Structure 1
Amino acid sequence: MLTRSAPLKRSAMKPWRRKAPTAAERRHLDRVAQMGCLVCGQPSTVHHVTSDGYKRLPRTHERIVPLCPRHHMIQFGPHESVEALGHAGFRETYDIDLLAVAKGLWEGGI
């Protein structure tokens, strides 16, 4: 049996929480989730754009794009997905600037 000599400090164990989406962000998430994949048009999941291809950007519900599992997640598309290629590699491979598309979707222009 293991015993602990001192209790764990709560300050060292802060829970990791994401901010809940606002009503406008929720509507945007729902609208983008209904779109087809940017690459192939298949049913999509929502991908949060967290890079401009060179630097990391904070995660926000405003910067999202529709990607199917194959083009989104590494376990479904190890040589085709944004998770495998990174944002710069994805742009180079598919000639799609995810950040520009996400901004356009949020502003309602695309």
Structure 2
Amino acid sequence: MVACNAQGELIAADATNPAHRGAVLGVVADAYSPGDDAVVQTGFVLEHSGWTWAPGPVLVGLAGQLAQAPPTGALFSQVIGQALSTTRVLIDINPPITLA
């Protein structure tokens, strides 16, 4: 997951960072280096053979990671998709909910 910082740069989204509430844009499915053009995607199915999701919502986690529960210290919760299977997530960004 990526968010946009005050300089308009993509950074790893983090549910413990108050500046990321409302700034989460979507997923960058491919690796990129700072300063490179990157494609941020939403509204698609993302698949990874190493995942083991349970059916249900997927949230913004820590340091760009996806999670199925708010991480310790989370200041907001934001559903970014739904686990369709153990290895597939439909990315669909929802508005954040303030926790603290």
Q: TM-score, normalised by structure 1?
A: 0.19
From the two aligned structures, give the one with the greater strand fraction: 2
Structure scoring higher RCO (CA < 8 A, sep ≥ 6) equals 2
> Which entry has the higher C-alpha Rg, 1 or 2?
1
From the two aligned structures, give the one with the greater helix fraction: 1
Q: TM-score, normalised by structure 2?
A: 0.20
